[in-house]
Structure 1
Amino acid sequence: LYRQFAVTICVSVIISAICALTLSPALCATLFTSEIHLHQKGPFALFNKFLSLSRRGYVAAAGWLLRKLIILGVMFLLVVGSSFLLFRSIPRSFLPLEDQGYFFIDFQLPEGASQARTMEVLKKIGAEMKKMEGIEDVITVSGYSIFSGIAPNVGFGLANLKDWDQRKRPDLHLRALVRKTQIKLMALPYVNAFAFSPPAILGLGTTGGFDFRLEAREGQSPRELAAAARALVVAANKDPRLTRVFTTFRADTPQFYVNLDRTKAEYFGVPVSRVFSTLQAYLGSAYVNDFNLFQRTYQVKVQAQAPFRNDLSDIRHLYVRNNQGKMVLLSSVASISTVLGPKVVHRYNQFPSVQINGQAAPGHSSGEAMAIMEKLAARVLPSGFGYEWSSSSFQQKKSRGQVQVLFILALVFAYLFLVGQYESWILPLPIILYIPVAALGALLGLWVTGLSFSIYAQIGLVMLVGLASKNAILMVEFSRDRHREGLSIEEAALEGARTRFRPVLMTAFTFILGVAPLVIATGAGAMSRRHIGTTVFSGMLVATTLGILLVPGLYYVLQSLGERKWTIPRTKRKRDNEGD
């Protein structure tokens, strides 16, 4: 995502720069053919009058701050301190939960349930869900589960929601509908079902929320692993900051266990591989060859007929051919018993593992949910068990701390570029010190709207380094030119504020109004647009209304310090003045 936004912004800025240097002058020469007169009546006249009053008030406030540098310093420290506190207090997340117009349901019936019963239950639940307000249709598939794989007692459902225009009420949004569906599913005694949202980015996991992998790192049995998973899920669901924490792992599936006596098999001359291939061929299937018919290729597979593979005694009646070509009864070399165990044992980082999924409760972020799960794991899990994060949770854990590095690098690169442009180490500092005001506005906007500090908000914060510094550049560069023409530092600072007030406001509010639709976006992908839109909208708004008050004062202080401590040689200053 960082690379995508970086490429998009860089290409658009390059194209904009080319147009500004070539097309814009030609358009100005073509369109501005007569002398421009200010409007004396109408809405434009009122707008100009309001802007003039605002400029006078702004210049007066900036001049007052120049005379009250202590207050200026206190204001700047408050901006930096407030930004730091908000940065520490706003909850963090990786990707916001998106309303994509559908959600998933996972069904699990008791062990031993037939597929016919599973189909009947899914059909009944689907019919009930269709009656819920906001749900357009429900598609169910029996025999397959995202978490449990293929089995006769599991199922999968997809609930298609109505169009976003018909779901404007908060109780018809995705999170509310998933919660309502889960309440209905929990009331059903004959099925264990979970409703969950899809991942925000398809391919990055199978569900929304966090993906916790519990690992048995000291060879614990599947039943011990299942018990530890249940204890952790129960503890997580008791925490009000978490919701819909579940796992589909079970270690009580009835199974037949074939205990092969390898000593007897060697005595009878029966290879071990032949025992397993016999079981596969009779009870499952075995590939023989292909044949062509009607210009198509078909596979030949062998399998015992259904009446001869339905009972445990049928396995004891199987025969295996030994190395001498004689048939040996399978029960002579193996004993068969009934046991309980898991259908499938998944491994994560080579350890037997259990997948636990869940989400943060409303008002909390995925970062908080992950921290809570880590604390619960440390308190609940017995010794010998560990955990890892997977899917989007792994990416979130991996990307933690990147925003600080990226923001600092953006500030450093912007500062070095301005140093090269102005040939001064001091002059770019007022521009760089103006950026924390934009950061304060961005964080304040996220805090007021209740949004988390997601990766989209991080991208918006990095973008503000370039967007906000443009306002300060317009003022500082003009003040520098007026100071070189002979004005004092104070007069140059106020002259730059007075002259560049209108261009700064026009360019800034053009951008602010341009991103306003992102703040109120709806539909698929609305949350990602709201996160980045709120960040840049509120950041530029605060930087334009509050930040420009600090720019003249910052320029005055730093330029005064620069001329006192790092005085330009007289010959060079004379040469610069002659060049100007």
Structure 2
Amino acid sequence: MVVQVELPTNSTADQTDQLLNELSTYLLEEEGDVVDSVFAVNGFSFAGRGQNSGLAFVQLKPWEERKRSVFDLQASAMQRFSEVKAGTALAFAPPAIQELGNATGFNLFLQDYRGEGHEQLMQVRGQFLAEASKHPALTLVRPNGKPDEPQYQVIIDDEKARALGVTLAEVNRTMSTAWGSSYVNDFIDRGRVKRVYVQGIPQARITPEDFNKWYVRNKNGQMVSFASFATGKWVYGSPKLERYNGVPAIEILGEPAPGYSSGDAMRAVEEIAAKLPSGVSLAWTGLSYEERLSGSQAPALYALSIVAVFLCLAALYESWSIPFSVLLVVPLGVIGTVAATLMRGLENDAFFQIGLLTTVGLCAKNAILIVEFAKDLHEKGGRTLVQAAIEASRLRLRPIIMTSLAFTMGVIPLAISSGASSGSKHAIGTGVIGGMVTATFLAIFFIPLFYVVVSSLFTKKARNTSATTAEEPSA
């Protein structure tokens, strides 16, 4: 787990260290049954750099030594962090896929694609956060960036600077060297190459009035006082320039509330973004972008899977009716998978989709066991469609029950597992169990019905086609 700390802008590094030590002590002592160690650093966070920022990386104990998950620890830690008055502390789990974001949940950017300005973008951000805090599907919605802070703005009079022969490039170079540093060259020190940097002495770069102590060389080589062409004032501004897709943007992080999936949270965010003023757009990034992209492709992939199964069955049995009879049973298993997932409060994620595709295959397997026997009894045994369907159901009832029960018992450990990767196991196991229950006990009654109905329709169509063909020569 990761803990991110942000103190007010004028806070010192000692105050940040004090808060980090306080939180580390709490995690090690009061959450010692889960936490193994805490590594805290000062001076930066995922929001940016600064002496008022800090991060703590919380190492959890192995699964066999603890009973609570990282999400349980996060919930209890956030309850404790809400009492912190010195600053803001957030606890969150790392993303499911590393390098795709910094935290679990959703990740987005609010883009100012019309160039309305930083102040307008900050107002829109405040409106967005206010609406998100009221939505029941969202929690821990926060900006991932440093707040505006006091800055000293240097105003250069271009006309005076040109009259004095001072170029803007020389002004920038002098300021960056005096108040920052500039790389000059290298030198050899005891066999190692080291760099030489030039910067102003501390006494000449402490207060804004120190700008008047500096001089800039003009085109004629003369030294011109900084105060002769520049003034300054205090303003509020962003500590960093943040852009996304080439336009000014602000990053927003958040998580779905308990009982809601990431898809529910993303739809809620899009509803809120639709109410924002024109000129500001929403752009997903990280795992959220991949989820939105894969979500739009899921229906096409499901359809392609069913078409592939249909064509394989049609080629195997050299019939169009049997594939239809088999695939009509698939919704029965899908209903069970969806119902079991919803009853347990799980999400519609990639693991749910894996379980759903597994259920589709198992439903088709059960249907094939009955339809194949019914087809042989009807074509080779001289039975009617109804008699063949009933007899096939009676003969194949035990194999269907045995195979379905064996498979269901095999995935029960997934549904009740704990420890590492238990979330994915719960999603697959729960979905498959729910699908197998409905596919087994409902399909026993519906497979014969679907076979009789579909075969009757195809038989009538074949008879009508044969009759029409026979009448054409006589005509």
Structure 2 residue 121 is matched with structure 1 residue 228: no
Structure 2 residue 111 is matched with structure 1 residue 111: no
Q: Separation in 2 of the partners of 1:443 and 1:299?
A: 64
Secondary structure at 1:410's aligned position in 2?
Answer: helix
Task: State the 1:249 CA deviation.
Answer: 4.0
Q: Name the residue aligned to 1:530.
A: 426
Task: State the 1:176 CA deviation.
Answer: 3.3
Q: Separation in 2 of the partners of 1:223 and 1:122?
A: 32
Instruction: Select the residue among 355, 365, 374 that pairs with 1:460.
Output: 355
Q: Name the residue aligned to 1:389.
A: 284
**1:410-441: CA deviation from partner (whole Å, max 9, x where unpaired):** 22111111111111111222111111111111
Structure 2 residue 362 is matched with structure 1 residue 428: no
Q: Name the residue aligned to 1:302.
A: 198
Question: In structure 2, do the counterparts of structure 1 residues 471 and 190 end up closer, same or farther at CA, with 3 Å as the change threshold?
Answer: same
Instruction: Select the residue among 439, 444, 450 that pairs with 1:548.
Output: 444
The aligned runs of 1:47-66 (5 Å cut-off) are none
Q: Which amino acid aligns with 2:143?
A: T
Instruction: Select the residue among 146, 157, 177 that pairs with 1:281.
Output: 177
**1:173-214: CA deviation from partner (whole Å, max 9, x where unpaired):** 333322322232222222122222221221221111122322
Q: Which amino acid aligns with 1:105?
A: V
Structure 2 residue 288 is matched with structure 1 residue 362: no
Secondary structure at 1:274's aligned position in 2?
Answer: helix
**1:504-544: CA deviation from partner (whole Å, max 9, x where unpaired):** 33333333233222212222322122112222222123212
Q: Separation in 1 of the partners of 2:262 and 2:299?
A: 19
Q: Name the residue aligned to 1:242.
A: 138
1:254/1:339 contact within 8 Å kept: yes
Q: Separation in 1 of the partners of 2:423 and 2:165?
A: 67
Which region of structure 1 is more displaced relative to structure 2, 328-337 or 289-298? 289-298
Instruction: Select the residue among 49, 52, 57 that pairs with 1:158.
Output: 57
Secondary structure at 1:566's aligned position in 2?
Answer: helix
Q: Which amino acid aligns with 1:163?
A: P
Q: Separation in 1 of the partners of 2:277 and 2:318?
A: 63
The aligned runs of 1:333-348 (5 Å cut-off) are 333-348=229-244
Structure 2 residue 19 is matched with structure 1 residue 121: yes
Task: State the 1:465 CA deviation.
Answer: 2.5
Q: Separation in 1 of the partners of 2:43 and 2:241?
A: 18
Q: Which amino acid aligns with 2:120?
A: E
Q: Name the residue aligned to 2:378.
A: 483
Q: Name the residue aligned to 2:99.
A: 203
Task: State the 1:567 CA deviation.
Answer: 4.3
Q: Separation in 1 of the partners of 2:379 and 2:346?
A: 46
Q: Which amino acid aligns with 2:38?
A: V
Question: In structure 2, do the counterparts of structure 1 residues 499 and 181 end up closer, same or farther at CA, with 3 Å as the change threshold?
Answer: same
Task: State the 1:442 CA deviation.
Answer: 0.9
Q: Separation in 2 of the partners of 1:443 and 1:248?
A: 35
Secondary structure at 2:253's aligned position in 1?
Answer: strand
Q: Separation in 2 of the partners of 1:331 and 1:151?
A: 30
Normalising by the residue count of structure 2, what TM-score does the alignment of the two structures yield? 0.90
The aligned runs of 1:495-506 (5 Å cut-off) are 495-506=391-402
**1:226-269: CA deviation from partner (whole Å, max 9, x where unpaired):** 23322322332233332212125455311111112222222222
Task: State the 1:446 CA deviation.
Answer: 0.7
2:144/2:253 contact within 8 Å kept: no
Q: Separation in 1 of the partners of 2:458 and 2:119?
A: 72
2:152/2:235 contact within 8 Å kept: yes
Instruction: Select the residue among 202, 219, 226 that pairs with 2:115.
Output: 219
Q: Separation in 1 of the partners of 2:12 and 2:396?
A: 77
Instruction: Select the residue among 280, 293, 297 that pairs with 1:398.
Output: 293
2:110/2:251 contact within 8 Å kept: yes
Q: Which runs of 5+ in 2 are unaligned?
A: 467-475
Secondary structure at 2:373's aligned position in 1?
Answer: helix
Q: Tell me: higher relative CO, structure 1 or 2? Use CA pairs within 8 A at least 6 residues apart.
A: 1
Compute the RMSD of aligned alpha carbons: 2.3
1:431/1:551 contact within 8 Å kept: yes
Which region of structure 1 is more displaced relative to structure 2, 219-228 or 523-532? 219-228
Q: Name the residue aligned to 1:442.
A: 337
Secondary structure at 2:55's aligned position in 1?
Answer: strand
Q: Which amino acid aligns with 2:207?
A: D
Q: Which runs of 5+ in 1 are unaligned?
A: 1-102, 571-580
**1:28-57: CA deviation from partner (whole Å, max 9, x where unpaired):** xxxxxxxxxxxxxxxxxxxxxxxxxxxxxx
Q: Name the residue aligned to 1:77.
A: none
1:222/1:251 contact within 8 Å kept: no
Q: Separation in 2 of the partners of 1:240 and 1:561?
A: 50
Instruction: Select the residue among 389, 409, 418 that pairs with 1:513.
Output: 409
Task: State the 1:283 CA deviation.
Answer: 1.4
Task: State the 1:110 CA deviation.
Answer: 1.2
Q: Name the residue aligned to 2:471.
A: none
**1:343-366: CA deviation from partner (whole Å, max 9, x where unpaired):** 013112333222121112111122
Q: Separation in 2 of the partners of 1:391 and 1:112?
A: 32
Q: Which amino acid aligns with 1:139?
A: F
Q: Separation in 2 of the partners of 1:378 and 1:553?
A: 48
